[in-house]
A and B are shown apart, each in its own frame.
Chain A
């Protein structure tokens, strides 16, 4: 079973459906993918190069824009993808600036 899959054929990211360990190698759509880190269920992996500023497509719709050049196989998450609407709140958010 492929541990990565696309929800919609239009997507430029795969979704992890079973934990991928760091260093694990697999062939996906004929390309070799080696994971640089452990990726849990639900995380996203670039299915192709996504240049800075281009939209990331999941479910067949844009879910935000790349904040850096993303390469095939990169983990796509808070460090390289931002909302086109509302900034994402995480526990690192500082309400009071020191």
Chain B
């Protein structure tokens, strides 16, 4: 690890040409009924880079197809074990073929065919054991900062989020952009009132229009569903207007020009800053777009994020299976209570122990540390 020269590191070269900053075996269940077997397999590898993800539904779902494919072929993933019950709706064969085509070792276990829980767990453990051996031989190649993709979300926000962690993260995002990295922010529902600001940051006029349309779609979605983003508790915390709340969240995107608008799971094309449009097209239907912080992160990771910055005021314990999460705590009191979960104490800005610029530098350095293999708090805690 060389922190004095953050421009170089080591990446894991995949056969599809992409590079990861982690080298993990992913165990993925394809329906809730297969969850137990998948968890049993994963739990045998407590101290190894073996992680569990899955889709619990049993209905045809294009979104789940796209997300599972993107996550299973993420550059941080070296090999995949798919655990299927056998009669679920998920198209397991297609997913299997897509992973195999990416050059990764992959095994599909059908619990019904394998003869139940015991046999499936045994078969899973033996595959994961050999896969761990195989991926140790994945070539390590130079990985430069301009190949890095970083996402950002916030969750468990409070009045401090918009005045410490998010502005500092925004500056760190600017530094990453300056260094040539790709960055992704999301949640168009938190950009209502900021359409013009967003539009002004578009790299070209057609994109400006797209960005404004994406926010208008989010505004319409919230209006139809009858749940806006501003809650009475926000006013207690000192926020007065929706655009004020929006700005508190939005400032974590920094000030760089916006290069493109992507949907969850879409890859980024050239380095730059991207906005993720999280609201499905078409008529608003019941159901929140990315209903929780974890699915927000997964959408960013599915679009290739090697790591995710997570700002929180109340104190999230989010972690992710595929890409490391770096938690930036906005509130000094929360930090004091939950220090073990927090990578960065942005609350120092409130207690005059650090400037926003100093915290931004700390965030940037932490991203480099994690990109070079250093473990974030949630990784140390086994999230």
Contacts and interface: CB of A to CB of B under 8 A. Distances in A.
Interface residues of A, number: 31
A82 B197 CA distance: 19
Contacts of B350: 17-18, 41
Interface in B275-296: none
Given A86-B192, A86-B242, A88-B242, A1 B351 contact: yes
B159 A91 contact: no
A16 interface: yes
Contact of B238 (A16, A85, A89, A90): A16
Contact of B237 (A1, A2, A42): A42
Best-buried of B167, B193, B240, B248 by chain A (most CB within 10 Å): B240
B251 interface: yes
A63 B241 contact: yes
Chief secondary structure at chain A's binding surface = loop
B238 A63 contact: no
Nearest to B313: A42
B240 A81 contact: yes
Best-buried of A16, A63, A76 by chain B (most CB within 10 Å): A63
B192 A44 contact: no
Interface string B235-249: 101111111100110
Best-buried of A2, A43, A81 by chain B (most CB within 10 Å): A43
B174 to A, nearest CB: 14
Nearest to B251: A59
Interface string A41-61: 111100000000000001101
A94 interface: no
Nearest to B223: A86
A70 interface: no
Given A1-B351, A42-B160, A63 B235 contact: no
A17 B163 contact: yes
B163 A40 contact: no
Interface string B140-163: 000000000000000000111011
Interface string A67-94: 0000000001110011111101111000
A59 B254 CA distance: 11
A88 B163 contact: no
B164 to A, nearest CB: 9
B23 to A, nearest CB: 40
A63 B228 contact: no
Given A15-B163, A76-B240, A58 B247 contact: yes
A40 B163 CA distance: 14
Nearest to B159: A42
B230 interface: yes
Given A40-B238, A62-B243, A77-B238, A7 B163 contact: yes
Nearest to A81: B240
Given A15-B163, A86-B228, A78 B192 contact: no
A91 B232 contact: yes
A17 B232 CA distance: 20
A83 B235 CA distance: 13
B163 A42 contact: yes
Interface in B295-343: none
B232 A89 contact: yes
B352 interface: yes
A8 to B, nearest CB: 8
Interface in B326-368: 349-352
Contacts of A90: 232, 235
B18 to A, nearest CB: 36
Interface of A: 1-2, 7, 15-18, 40-44, 58-59, 61-64, 76-78, 81-86, 88-91
Given A41-B159, A84-B241, 19 more contacts: A1-B352, A2-B352, A17-B350, A18-B350, A42-B159, A42-B160, A42-B238, A61-B243, A61-B247, A63-B240, A64-B240, A64-B241, A64-B244, A77-B238, A77-B240, A85-B193, A85-B241, A85-B242, A89-B231
19 contacts: A1-B352, A7-B163, A40-B159, A40-B237, A42-B160, A42-B163, A42-B238, A59-B244, A63-B240, A63-B244, A64-B243, A82-B241, A83-B242, A86-B230, A86-B242, A88-B230, A88-B242, A89-B231, A89-B232
